A = this chain, B = another copy of it.
Amino acid sequence: MANLGEEQDLLSKIFDILKSERVFDPKAGDLVFPFKHPQELKSLLCLDLSTAVPCAGSAERENIVRMVIQYSIKTAHPNYHNEMYAAPDLYGLAASWVTDALNACQFTFEAAPVFSLIESMVLEYFLKLCGFEDGEGVFTPGGSMANMYAISMARHKMQPDIKIQGMYGQQCLKIYTSEDAHYSVTKSANWLGLGEANVLKISTDHLSRIDPGALEAALQTATVGQDGSRPLIVSVTAGTTVFGAFDELDKIADICARFGTWMHVDAAWGGAALFSDHYRKLLLNGLERADSVALCPQKLLGAPLQCAMFLSRHKGLLTSCNAACAEYLFQTDKYYDISYDTGDMSVQCGRKVDSFKLWFMLRARGPEWFQLAVENALSCAQYFLRAITENAFFKLVRTKFEFTNVCFWFVPKRLQLASRSGQDETDDWWAEVQKVTLILKERMVKKGSLMVSYASHPCKKLVYFFRLVVKCVPPPTTERMDYIIQEMVAIGGEL
């Protein structure tokens, strides 16, 4: 039934197929990907399974794999800037391939001896980086889940009986975050039964940082006796999705200490700054005072997807909150030290091993490499910001950005006079700029030469603008930053 020879044959070719399709090092002149509309792509690649017959042989299998690769986005392309992740670090990728092949599942030392230890080593490393002396953590399937962990842990610490009794008869628990925070806080409030209406989105300043005064006032209101509600958690952000803003952690920590409220830091994006002493001091000062933090090495650092973790300073709380003590799995009378049987700390049962790729990246490169990579990404973003500041085709959404996000409008020639004088930025003018964003985005994608994402910001009443996010992998350069400017002008200058 099995044909191990044919199966291994395809596997043995995967590296060469990927290399020949230039997945690892696309040239600047290659397409980022050839855009096709969904229906077109579906029939082109014969994706429908209901009509499919088994592949006739190895040539057909290889052909299918090649087609999937050809029409997929090349995240390693130097002009791919669309998302908060890009190419996978190649040492990380090598470790991913090994992880996949070993197909281990993480829940007991018995099931995954080496990987259980590796996970604990990586968690220890990042706990120390965060300044959590005697903490604990768990890998999570993405940053959203890590943020959900934080709220769940804060609730369990405050009201451990909710685990058993549910939310019935509880006073209303409030979640504080900023209007610029990630939407996973809202999604978590929904699932955890806390209610989206009980997420208070505090206003932010000119850099999109949470307003500490407004936060304090809101916490003051939610004290028992006033409106019957109670502060559960303050979830602040180190590196917001759109503007890359860092809430002022030290100030927030003071406030949380005063109210005795759990302080969570969503550092999914900005946590990469931990590797640079300079930026750590500048952006993450006070992180060590938080109760918990979410990290996503799968974003700026280029750890292959998925690679995220939840860290907390409250050792034992993960088990206390999550353990269901299934006797068929987590026996306590084993023949080895069961302190690495960490499966019951997680809300999942078995988990894919996500730690080895990150461990191997750290082991192979050492922390200094990460420092240089993070500082290079920041310096490229700053270079880009300077370069567009005096360029008439670009209008900055902000004049200052704290991280590698740079947000701007593209202003084609016909709209530039108004923009430069600042006099005639009427509603009509803005409507035109918004249209330009959409058309330029579409043209860039369809040409396949450049991908930069766009966003809006309803709270601040901003029309669609472009958001460049610079990452570590592939290593950005000033040449690639210059190219963004040239190519946008070339495609959009006459729009």
* A195 x B172 contact (CB < 8 A): no
- The distance in angstroms between the C-alpha atoms of A86 and B104, with both chains bound, is 8
Q: Indicate whether A220 reaches chain B with its CB closer than 8 angstroms.
A: no
* B71 x A114 contact (CB < 8 A): yes
Q: Indicate whether A414 reaches chain B with its CB closer than 8 angstroms.
A: no
Cβ-neighbour of A93 out of B11, B340, B467 (below 8 A): B11
Chain B residues contacting A364 (CB-CB under 8 Å) are 54-55, 61, 64
- The distance in angstroms between the C-alpha atoms of A2 and B455, with both chains bound, is 31
* B475 x A369 contact (CB < 8 A): no
8 further A-B contacts with Cβ under 8 Å, apart from A2-B475, A166-B189, A166-B194, are: A2-B474, A14-B15, A38-B337, A48-B121, A97-B100, A145-B347, A148-B191, A187-B324
Q: Nearest chain B CB to A466's CB is how many angstroms away?
A: 11
Chain B residues contacting A168 (CB-CB under 8 Å) are 167, 170, 172, 195
- The distance in angstroms between the C-alpha atoms of A132 and B435, with both chains bound, is 41
Chain B residues contacting A29 (CB-CB under 8 Å) are none
Q: Which of A210-218, A325-333, A395-403, A485-493 sits within the interface?
A: A325-333
Contact pattern, A 114-135, Cβ under 8 Å of B = 1, otherwise 0? 1111100110110010000000
- The distance in angstroms between the C-alpha atoms of A137 and B93, with both chains bound, is 29
> Which A residues, 67 to 126, have Cβ-Cβ distances below 8 Å to chain B?
68-69, 71-76, 82-83, 85-88, 90-91, 93-98, 100-105, 109-118, 121-122, 124-125
> Which A residues, 1 to 60, have Cβ-Cβ distances below 8 Å to chain B?
1-2, 4, 7-8, 10-12, 14-19, 23-25, 33, 35-39, 41-42, 45, 47-50, 52-55
> Which A residues, 189 to 237, have Cβ-Cβ distances below 8 Å to chain B?
189-198
Q: Nearest chain B CB to A333's CB is how many angstroms away?
A: 7
Number of copies of chain A assembled together: 2
- The distance in angstroms between the C-alpha atoms of A322 and B8, with both chains bound, is 41
- The distance in angstroms between the C-alpha atoms of A365 and B74, with both chains bound, is 28
Q: Indicate whether A373 reaches chain B with its CB closer than 8 angstroms.
A: yes
* B113 x A85 contact (CB < 8 A): no
Contact pattern, A 245-272, Cβ under 8 Å of B = 1, otherwise 0? 0000000000000000000000000000
* B193 x A121 contact (CB < 8 A): no
Known A-B contacts A4-B24, A114-B71; the reply to A351 vs B141 at CB < 8 A is yes
* A112 x B72 contact (CB < 8 A): yes
Cβ-neighbour of A349 out of B90, B184, B347, B359 (below 8 A): B184
Q: Indicate whether A157 reaches chain B with its CB closer than 8 angstroms.
A: no
Q: Indicate whether A177 reaches chain B with its CB closer than 8 angstroms.
A: no
Cβ-neighbour of A163 out of B14, B19, B195, B376 (below 8 A): B195
Known A-B contacts A98-B68, A110-B82, A333-B438; the reply to A166 vs B162 at CB < 8 A is no
* B122 x A49 contact (CB < 8 A): yes
- The distance in angstroms between the C-alpha atoms of A193 and B68, with both chains bound, is 42
Chain B residues contacting A475 (CB-CB under 8 Å) are 1-2
* B98 x A14 contact (CB < 8 A): yes
* B1 x A369 contact (CB < 8 A): yes
Known A-B contacts A49-B125, A142-B350, A166-B198; the reply to A114 vs B82 at CB < 8 A is no
Cβ-neighbour of A72 out of B47, B104, B321, B438 (below 8 A): B104
Chain B residues contacting A47 (CB-CB under 8 Å) are 117-118, 121, 359
Contact pattern, A 161-183, Cβ under 8 Å of B = 1, otherwise 0? 01111111010110000000011
Q: Indicate whether A356 reaches chain B with its CB closer than 8 angstroms.
A: yes
Q: Nearest chain B CB to A477's CB is how many angstroms away?
A: 10
Cβ-neighbour of A114 out of B41, B115, B170, B331 (below 8 A): B41
Write the chain B residue with the least CB distance to A325.
B183
Known A-B contacts A15-B12, A167-B193; the reply to A49 vs B121 at CB < 8 A is yes
* A124 x B50 contact (CB < 8 A): yes
Q: Indicate whether A366 reaches chain B with its CB closer than 8 angstroms.
A: yes
Q: Can you pick out 16 interface pairs between chain A and chain B where the beta carbons lie within 8 Å of each other?
A: A14-B15, A52-B363, A65-B98, A73-B104, A73-B112, A75-B104, A100-B304, A142-B350, A162-B193, A166-B197, A167-B170, A167-B193, A168-B195, A183-B324, A191-B192, A241-B328
